[in-house]
Amino acid sequence: MSIIDTIELYRVRLPLVYPFGTAYGTDHAVEPVVVCLRCGDDSGWAESQPFRLPTYCPEYSAGVFRLLRDVLAPAIVGRQISSGAALQKHLAGFKGNPFAKGGLDMAWWDLHARRNGLPLWQALGGKSPVVEVGADFGIMDTIDALLERIGEALDAGFKRIKLKYAPGWDLDMVTAVREAFPRAVFHIDCNSAYTLDDIDMFRRLDRLGLAMIEQPLAHDDLVDHATLQKQLRTPICLDESITSPARARKAIEIGACGWVNIKPVRMGGHTPALEVHDLCRDAGVPCWIGGMVESGLGGLHCLAMATLANVKYPSDIFPSRRFFTDDLVVPDIELSGPSQMTTPDSPGIGRVPDPERLDRLTVEKAVLTQ
Ligand code: MG
């Protein structure tokens, strides 16, 4: 690979078509940081999408932009980067901050795949361009409204439904859902809203036949999750807690989870995410791919990762219109069948951001050259 001669960073504000409510609060817009690596006439694109505020994890959009601009991108620009591992090595001296590192890593993979004329899913070692995706529902105004939306999703053929779960939108909600749809596949995402003091509530949940309970306890915990898992039949899925291959290995070793949610950007990009995928596969722990309410740019990266063999549950990757009126990529990301999406077969992720939309939606931009 030739030298990375330019790195462009764009902090973008994308309004949501409707507010998205989780245990972390309600968001009306997302603020991804778009990263572009240029190498001669070639370019690689990705998106780092922490939340606007440090509620999901310690990183947040404006902070990621600044760290990339002031520290991480200067460590990469002007260098010849021949592999994802080489890129990670240049960033390894800087502790933590996987979302910021992930933007650079994933843009490098897109660039690498394009320069080799390969779709990203093939460059990552995927098995088939067709992946299963699920339906998700955040906290809504009423349980009746939720039941109606779930009915529509099941009628549309979605193979599983994920429900955001938080104090005040909890057992009564899941009980009503289970009664209304006794055979459907559901799981809940607690977004770290609970503690071991809630064991009675988890025991009652354990009787509702959920596919998994996602991130029930603190965002940075492993040990309490292992304690909880020993008392439940329902598998725990770790999301926020798995920020690196080392954390995944430790979680598996102590029995903290039966599933791992891989968000490549949360782990520092495709390079560490591939390591986590392989480590889980070797340990017999299945994975699926999560999302951070990305634009289609981030969604296409997740879609490529979802083609890997140990992804065994429908992933959280959504059509553009689910969240956005104007997605960053054109044309929109769409389902290719019921509960199904297909990764583009053109090189890299198969799309680049639409220049007019990127320009109009950017609130902060930086260009670094060698
Ligand atoms: Mg989650």
- pLDDT tens, position by position, 306-326: 999 999 999 999 999 989 999
pLDDT tens, 138-155? 899 999 999 999 999 999
Q: Pairing state of beta strands 340-342 and 130-132?
A: antiparallel
Q: pLDDT band at 19, cuts 50/70/90? A: confident
Q: pLDDT band at 370, cuts 50/70/90? A: confident
User: Of the ranges 49-53, 218-222, 313-317, which one carries the lowest mean pLDDT score?
Assistant: 49-53
Whether pLDDT at 167 is above 90: yes
User: Of the ranges 10-24, 97-111, 281-295, which one carries the lowest mean pLDDT score?
Assistant: 10-24
Whether 89 is catalytic is no
Pick the closest to residue 284 from 252, 238, 328, 240 (CA basis).
252
Among 89, 101, 127, 263, the active-site one is 263
Q: What is the Å distance from ligand 1's center to 261 Cα?
A: 7
Residues 6+ apart with CB under 8 A from 200: none
pLDDT at 348: 98
- What's the rounded mean pLDDT across residues 324-346? 95
Q: What is the Å distance from ligand 1's center to 239 Cα?
A: 5
Whether 159 is catalytic is no
pTM of the model: 0.95
Whether pLDDT at 22 is above 80: no
Whether pLDDT at 56 is above 90: no
Q: Helix 296-305 crosses helix 98-115 at what angle (to 10 degrees)?
A: 80
Q: What is the Å distance from ligand 1's center to 359 Cα?
A: 30
H or E segment and range at residue 218: none
Share of residues in the chain with pLDDT > 70 (%)? 99
H or E segment and range at residue 236: strand 236-238
- What's the rounded mean pLDDT across residues 172-194? 97
Share of residues in the chain with pLDDT > 90 (%)? 91
The residues that bridge with 259 in the sheet, in sequence order, are 237
pLDDT at 27: 79
Q: How far apart are the first and last CA of the chain?
A: 16
H or E segment and range at residue 21: strand 14-22
Burial of 334 (C-beta count, 10 Å sphere; 0-12/13-18/19+): exposed
Whether pLDDT at 283 is above 70: yes
- What's the rounded mean pLDDT across residues 230-248? 97
- What's the rounded mean pLDDT across residues 281-298? 95
Q: What is the Å distance from ligand 1's center to 265 Cα?
A: 13
pLDDT at 51: 86
- What's the rounded mean pLDDT across residues 270-282? 98
Q: What is the Å distance from ligand 1's center to 213 Cα?
A: 10
Q: pLDDT band at 275, cuts 50/70/90? A: very high
Alpha-carbon gap, residue 368 to 74, rounded angstroms = 7
Q: What is the Å distance from ligand 1's center to 6 Cα?
A: 34
pLDDT at 1: 65
Q: Are 190 and 23 in contact (CB under 8 A)?
A: yes
- What's the rounded mean pLDDT across residues 172-180? 97
pLDDT at 359: 97
Q: Are 49 and 265 in contact (CB under 8 A)?
A: yes
Q: pLDDT band at 291, cuts 50/70/90? A: confident
Residues 6+ apart with CB under 8 A from 243: 57, 96, 98, 266, 267, 268
Q: pLDDT band at 2, cuts 50/70/90? A: confident
Among 95, 164, 230, 250, the active-site one is 164
What's the mean pLDDT when you consider all of the chain? Answer: 95
Q: Are 87 and 109 in contact (CB under 8 A)?
A: no
